[in-house]
Structure 1
């Protein structure tokens, strides 16, 4: 008998999904460098350089490491949640089935290249009845 609760179908934990959401939002908040040759002290410029994209981007590296560290089922869950949250599919099961056609080695770069990734994953989870507010409160 099938469960009516789609969140039972998730292999990724809400805590792990929340971590990816946080990292994806940090990545999305970055801006193009305005002063690439800045030689100033970080405290002199209110440490705003951390929000600028650089070639060796630690935020992107953290996000990529988080995604690459997931097993394939968890990565496919994130794709399905993103698609569900973006409105591409009406059900998680349908999105998850379609995600299985994705070439495995391209999943992390595909997710990283998706603007508003964190927002879409959170919306997908919300559609499954999983609220990340509880996890955020417990994390602080």
Structure 2
């Protein structure tokens, strides 16, 4: 039986954070002008220097041990369709071998990270994990 190196609820919480960050965009309009009440909506969708969401994800992922980081990347790849649940151990090894830089930076650079992590988790649960 395959075992995930983290609790599935931890992945679900992480996905919520990913989705919140991915919904935001870089600040590209320095002065919105116009109607102040309308400006608040655009401001909430723009990432600012004081926004902790991205930093929190980075800190959470980078505080994981190597096995958990490898598992997170493997889960992402399985969700994206690059591997199958039956290849879990092999995929984790491949994630370790191909690891360059921060895992958080890699995943935050993927626009559909939350979706693929969710899909990967669903596939692994269907396959049968502890």
Q: 2:20 aligns with which of 23, 26, 50?
A: 26
- Tell me the number of residue pairs that the alignment of Structure 1 and Structure 2 aligns: 124
Q: Which residue of 2 aligns with 1:11?
A: 5
Q: 1:65 aligns with which of 48, 56, 59?
A: 59
CA contact 1:72–1:104 (8 Å) conserved in 2: no
Q: Which residue of 2 aligns with 1:49?
A: 43
The alignment status of 1:116 with 2:112, answered yes or no, reads yes
Partner SS, residue 115 of structure 1: coil
Structure 2 unpaired stretches of 5+: none
- Cα displacement (A) at 1:74: 1.2
CA contact 1:111–1:117 (8 Å) conserved in 2: yes
**Structure 1: distance between partners of 2:26 and 2:100:** 30
- Structure 1 stretches of 4+ moved >4 Å: 38-44
CA contact 2:5–2:71 (8 Å) conserved in 1: yes
Length-normalised TM-score, structure 2: 0.79
Length-normalised TM-score, structure 1: 0.74
Name the Cα RMSD after superposition. 2.5
CA contact 1:12–1:73 (8 Å) conserved in 2: no
Residues 111-120 or 51-60, more deviating:
51-60
- Cα displacement (A) at 1:41: 10
- Cα displacement (A) at 1:37: 2.8
Q: Quick one: structure 1 residues 41 and 76, their matched pair in 2 at CA, closer, same or farther if it must change by over 3 Å?
A: farther
Q: 1:125 aligns with which of 118, 121, 128?
A: 121
